[in-house]
Structure 1
């Protein structure tokens, strides 16, 4: 009788499916040990805590080349991995994080914007240091533009010239042009994505929370952005428990919001029962529970009563999953006036 009860619990559990994709947890860092920039910084102690927590979790780092191959071949990530990424090439990362990563032989992607490196800005790495990372065998260089400006506020022709400048720098200093890219500030639009794709970037990252799977847009992949607030131990441990939803589709596929479409409700369709899902958004300028209309047990509509404020509108949805994991979906709107 006891075995029968256990069997019935297992087959009725709505979150467990052997065929589901677990996904990749992509972490994003900027500065390490630069306390005067808390929104883009983690302390050295916090970074060390993160590495220890990952080790204790049993999760393994995936090499960027293996990750890229997996994504482009359309293979499911049947085991959870960590993909470590770094934006902007700040010197504090080189000084305070690189020695730890090198010692532990942890692979990562660094997305390099080139203007400040060219001008020998004191807060940025030098090209010699970038080459050192490249030659280590651990580090993959990604594109991140020349200026790192707010591209959603610029004309497409200006963005095109900006990226072309960065490519000239990559060729001169590194002898190659990267094929991975990260949107500056995580902000983008359909037109920007189409432009950037023309530069032969194969995979493009945003900076909105969520777990990478084959159900995501490979030109707008999520990453968990970590700083002194969002890198605290409790949240970081929850990030390490995250896994992908079995997402079928979402509509509309709007990224850029303006006065004519802000806000736009978001409809999510899953290949699973999502009763019990919780969503949060920052419409109106502060985080709040999102109103959810259940069209069915596997289809929901997120309803936003207030417009999102300028720059970034964010949505996060989570659902308890088997084995103590958390299914996590995130989305980011780029908001202009």
Structure 2
């Protein structure tokens, strides 16, 4: 008989329920293998170590829809609540991760790009395997048809045509997933985590939740068209680096500027507005590529902080990360902003 995934509610101490919290954590995996690209891979041994840590340290592991709908409706979760997600639909998820998750009784979500499954592409699951995972209780959701760079435009394509093309692909993938699995949650994981305000507005009109790949915890005040997830692969796959992310909390913070993560410069300044919380403004530190970013408090009392990078960053995508210690614990508040330089 197939194992049925259940929500595992653990206790922080014998006979006592965990305290309530206004945030939770979503983690992201791709390959669970040792013979796949390191940038998106975690070994089965490291993956098992992650789950052992969650079990042994009394985390509340819930399916993604439980975490999202609870926070979206401004209801508290048990402290240290976490959801596990996978993107793309690689075969190692079925062959390696799925049995390990079953052995722990942990639920998870799988975001699939439908075209590789339709074509029985090498290294991907097929629909029969996805249905088996679905029937065991996993959430199956949308990762577009062919995993596009959503911000890239075709030659001669205007804004309206580009946005309509994205809309049609989102809906096509959603229809395919519902036909194959009888699931339709209207959750979209952006390929490569790339999104801009136009796509977020369209997603809201379609009544979709969006999930990105910028690190940070999810809270009442998070952007539900671009929820953060921690990618745990490569150098971030080790338990030593992952445990601080599992334990993190959400800042109550708003991005004031820039209006879009799609930028033409490689060192954009950023203004953030931090609401008061159980953290000290003077202990907020911000980083990019593990290097500190110079900070300018425009109005400390109002929580207005400007980040003024003194170097340029390479690649198509990079992040600024801000953290602050949670007083009296070893945990951190965590927020990040991802930037995309598309060359459009």
2:276 aligned with 1:271: yes
Aligned pairs (5 A) from 1:11-160: 21-77=21-77, 79-137=79-137, 139-154=138-153, 155-160=162-167
Give, in whole Å, the separation in 2 of the partners of 1:78 and 1:59.
9
* 1:105-161 per-position Cα deviation (integer Å, ceiling 9, x unaligned): 111111111010000012111101111111112x11111100101001132232223
Aligned partner (choices 222, 232, 238) of residue 216 of structure 1: 222
- Counterparts in 2 of 1:303 and 1:21: CA distance versus 1, 3 Å: farther
Please name the residue that 1:10 is paired with: none
Aligned partner (choices 319, 322, 339) of residue 333 of structure 1: 339
**TM-fit CA distance, 1:214:** 0.9
2:250 aligned with 1:251: no
- Counterparts in 2 of 1:250 and 1:78: CA distance versus 1, 3 Å: farther
Q: 1:97 is paired with a residue of what secondary structure? A: helix
Gaps of 5+ in 2: 1-18, 154-161
Aligned partner (choices 200, 203, 211) of residue 196 of structure 1: 203
- Counterparts in 2 of 1:253 and 1:84: CA distance versus 1, 3 Å: farther
Give, in whole Å, the separation in 1 of the partners of 2:245 and 2:174.
34
TM normalised by structure 2 equals 0.84
Give, in whole Å, the separation in 2 of the partners of 1:39 and 1:260.
25
Aligned partner (choices 288, 292, 300) of residue 289 of structure 1: 292
Kindly indicate whether the alpha-carbon contact (under 8 Å) linking 1:263 and 1:305 is maintained by their aligned counterparts in 2: no
- RMSD (Å) for aligned C-alpha atoms: 2.2
TM normalised by structure 1 equals 0.86
Give, in whole Å, the separation in 1 of the partners of 2:333 and 2:43.
28
Give, in whole Å, the separation in 1 of the partners of 2:323 and 2:72.
27
2:236 aligned with 1:230: yes
* 1:164-220 per-position Cα deviation (integer Å, ceiling 9, x unaligned): 33134224322343321111110110111122333331x211011101101210111
Give, in whole Å, the separation in 1 of the partners of 2:238 and 2:92.
19
Aligned length: 312
Runs of 4+ with deviation above 4 angstroms: 19-22
Give, in whole Å, the separation in 1 of the partners of 2:338 and 2:237.
19
* 1:241-290 per-position Cα deviation (integer Å, ceiling 9, x unaligned): 31222x243312633333279613222322133211111024xxxx4211
Kindly indicate whether the alpha-carbon contact (under 8 Å) linking 1:189 and 1:334 is maintained by their aligned counterparts in 2: no
Give, in whole Å, the separation in 2 of the partners of 1:250 and 1:36.
35
Kindly indicate whether the alpha-carbon contact (under 8 Å) linking 1:263 and 1:306 is maintained by their aligned counterparts in 2: no
Kindly indicate whether the alpha-carbon contact (under 8 Å) linking 1:34 and 1:92 is maintained by their aligned counterparts in 2: no
Please name the residue that 1:242 is paired with: 248
2:212 aligned with 1:206: yes
Please name the residue that 2:179 is paired with: 172
**TM-fit CA distance, 1:307:** 4.5
